[in-house]
Amino acid sequence: MRFVAKQASLQPLNDRVPFEQARELSLRVQRDATVEVDINRFSVPWRLIGDPVQVSVTDGELRVHHVVP
């Protein structure tokens, strides 16, 4: 009932891509060669220990990018 008056002005999305939720994090690789996102730990190459990384989380996919100092 609340939005009945506005319903006539709504338009379908058709071929538009739905809104994508994404998170970008700046983290440092821990001494056990992992990065922690929320409560989960993800392994990364041991040579990155102590280095900064960029982590992007989108659509259930997590990507870790090494940031060159």
pTM for this entry: 0.67
Please report whether residue 59 resides in a domain.
Answer: yes
Sheet with 52-58, side-by-side order of all strands: 22-28, 52-58, 61-66
Percent of the chain with pLDDT over 70: 96
55 in any annotated domain: yes
Q: Is residue 8 part of a domain?
A: no
Q: Per the structure, how many domains does the chain have?
A: 1
Residue 69 lies in a domain: yes
* Phi/psi of residue 45, nearest 5 degrees: -60, 140
42 vs 18 pLDDT, higher one: 42
Query: What is the reported pLDDT for 1?
Result: 60
For residue 27, what is the enclosing H or E element? Answer: strand 22-28
Cβ–Cβ under 8 Å, residues 55 and 64: yes
Residue 53 lies inside a defined structural domain of this protein: yes
Residue 36 in any domain: the answer is yes
Residue 17 counted as domain residue: no
Rounded mean pLDDT, 41-54: 96
**Domain hosting residue 37, numbered range:** 22-69
